[in-house]
């Protein structure tokens, strides 16, 4: 929290949102737990949102937990889905309530410095779904936002796995760039550095020739005649593509187990705030203004056409015009859609601190919800 002398509520920086993504097993949840406890120790407790409906145990205290709103098991049953379809549908359903999540976060902007979002373990469910895009867009439109891409460092020491992981990160970044026409700040977090330091990765990222040498030293890169294999040539070309990707990236090494490197991570996050404000925000505002103009033009156009049609109709049917009056008696009662499940902020709930142990059987009356079906 900014408690520097002279700082006032109006000068206070907005909290920064950290969206954590990563391959299953990379250590995402452990990382979120680590940064959460680090921020608590710094007296800056974050606001945490768990977006993984299928996680059995959340090792950190989430302020908002998707599992309180959507029962993933129930969704699988109702829609006759397997685990991945269930997670995706649960996320889709939750996304329809995301305005409430934003409202709850908004209420905390004066008191928190960081909002942390943990995403489903299956990375593609978040990164390639419409829901993931809507959630990212909604957050990034309201707060400075950074994507933390968690990498399992011990499992990327072979040049081929390193490259495939980097390519995946590059694809995720490109996907976000295509969606928003500009790139959200992105941090590569090399996790598990207690087991495997990440220096090799930094060297490979910054020195193309070192990576080529590592590739050449790796078995399977030459065929029986000593010629480079297809795989070798492919990886060489790919590494040229990645070179451009690395230029705009921040990379840090972290051990979520020991806490080593967490401070560096937050320094990178602060650097991303600047990047967001200088690069992302102006683009976002330009895109928003363009979208609003297109919408306003379309609205004005359809209104003009409607008025013209009405004028023609009325000119043709003067008798109808005399009867066409507003009847207050005929006014229908408005639909009350507030009976629906609401997103809860656990801090405002009346069973503080007990949620981690709760079996997911205890919900807030969502057992009888009939979620809308497509079509």
Ligand X SMILES: Nc1nc2c(ncn2[C@@H]2O[C@H](COP(=O)(O)OP(=O)(O)OP(=O)(O)O)[C@@H](O)[C@H]2O)c(=O)[nH]1
Give the binding site for ligand X (CB under 6 A): 22, 24-30, 121, 191-192, 194-195, 255-257
Residue whose CB is less far from ligand X, 16 or 125: 125
Torsion of CA 46, 47, 50, 51, to 10 degrees: -120
Please give the structure tokens belonging to residue 91.
Answer: 């996320």
Please report how close the Cβ of residue 26 comes to ligand X at its closest, in angstroms.
4
**Among residues 140, 66, 52, which one has the least CA distance to residue 97?**
66
C-beta nearest to ligand X: residue: 121
Please report how close the Cβ of residue 88 comes to ligand X at its closest, in angstroms.
15
The strand order across the sheet containing 47-50 reads: 64-65, 47-50, 114-118, 16-22, 145-152, 186-191, 250-253
Residue whose CB is less far from ligand X, 104 or 135: 135
Task: Spell out the residues 6+ positions from residue 94 whose beta carbon is closer than 8 angstroms to its own.
Answer: 51, 53, 66, 69, 70, 131, 343
**Cα 217 from Cα 39, distance rounded (Å):** 42
Three-state DSSP state, 324: coil
**Cα 43 from Cα 1, distance rounded (Å):** 8
Residue whose CB is less far from ligand X, 55 or 70: 55
Please report how close the Cβ of residue 28 comes to ligand X at its closest, in angstroms.
4
Residue whose CB is less far from ligand X, 104 or 151: 151
Three-state DSSP state, 21: strand
Please report how close the Cβ of residue 276 comes to ligand X at its closest, in angstroms.
25
Residue whose CB is less far from ligand X, 59 or 352: 59
**Cα 148 from Cα 151, distance rounded (Å):** 10
Please report how close the Cβ of residue 126 comes to ligand X at its closest, in angstroms.
11
Please report how close the Cβ of residue 231 comes to ligand X at its closest, in angstroms.
28
**Among residues 182, 175, 170, which one has the least CA distance to residue 127?**
175
Contact 113, 75 (CB under 8 A): no
Contact 153, 26 (CB under 8 A): no
Please give the structure tokens belonging to residue 248.
Answer: 């705009």
Residue whose CB is less far from ligand X, 13 or 155: 155
Please report how close the Cβ of residue 59 comes to ligand X at its closest, in angstroms.
7
Residue whose CB is less far from ligand X, 56 or 240: 56
Supply φ then ψ for residue 303, to 5 degrees.
-65, -45
DSSP 207: -
Residue whose CB is less far from ligand X, 126 or 276: 126
Q: What ranges make up the beta strands (E) of 201-327?
A: 250-253
Please report how close the Cβ of residue 93 comes to ligand X at its closest, in angstroms.
20
Residue whose CB is less far from ligand X, 50 or 256: 256
Please report how close the Cβ of residue 200 comes to ligand X at its closest, in angstroms.
17
Please give the structure tokens belonging to residue 48.
Answer: 């945490």
**Cα 369 from Cα 339, distance rounded (Å):** 10
């Amino acid at each position: 929290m900014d408690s520097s002398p002279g700082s006032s509520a109006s000068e206070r920086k907005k909290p920064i949102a950290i969206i954590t993504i990563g391959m299953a097993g990379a250590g995402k949840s452990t990382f979120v737990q680590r940064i959460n406890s680090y921020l608590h120790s710094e007296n800056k407790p974050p606001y945490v949102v768990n977006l993984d409906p299928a996680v059995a145990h959340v090792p950190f205290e989430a302020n908002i937990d998707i599992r309180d709103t959507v029962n993933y098991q129930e969704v699988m049953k109702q829609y006759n889905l397997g685990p991945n379809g269930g997670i995706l549908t649960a996320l889709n359903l939750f996304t329809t309530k995301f305005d409430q999540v934003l409202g709850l976060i908004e209420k905390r902007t004066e008191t928190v410095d960081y909002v942390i979002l943990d995403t489903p373990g299956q990375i593609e469910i978040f990164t390639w779904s419409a829901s993931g895009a809507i959630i990212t867009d909604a957050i990034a439109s309201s707060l400075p936002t950074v994507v933390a891409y968690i990498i399992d460092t011990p499992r990327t020491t072979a040049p081929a796995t390193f490259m495939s992981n980097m390519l995946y990160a590059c694809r995720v970044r490109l996907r976000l760039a295509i969606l928003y026409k500009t790139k959200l700040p992105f941090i590569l977090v090399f996790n598990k550095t207690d087991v495997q330091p990440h220096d090799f990765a930094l060297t490979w990222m910054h020195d193309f020739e070192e990576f080529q040498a590592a590739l050449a030293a790796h078995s399977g890169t030459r065929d029986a005649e000593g010629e480079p294999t297809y795989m070798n040539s492919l990886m060489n070309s790919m590494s040229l593509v990645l070179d451009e990707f690395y230029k705009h990236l921040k990379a840090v090494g972290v051990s979520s187990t020991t806490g080593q490197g967490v401070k560096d991570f937050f320094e990178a996050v602060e650097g991303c705030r600047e990047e967001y404000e200088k690069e992302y925000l102006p683009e976002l505002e330009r895109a928003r203004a363009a979208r609003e103009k297109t919408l306003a033009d379309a609205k004005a156009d359809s209104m003009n056409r409607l008025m013209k049609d009405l004028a023609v109709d009325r000119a043709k049917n003067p008798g109808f015009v005399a009867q066409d009056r507003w009847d207050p008696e005929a006014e229908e009662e408005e639909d009350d859609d507030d009976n629906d499940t609401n997103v809860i902020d656990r801090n405002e709930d009346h069973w503080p601190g007990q949620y981690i142990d709760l079996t997911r059987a205890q919900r807030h009356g969502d057992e009888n919800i009939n979620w809308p079906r497509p079509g």
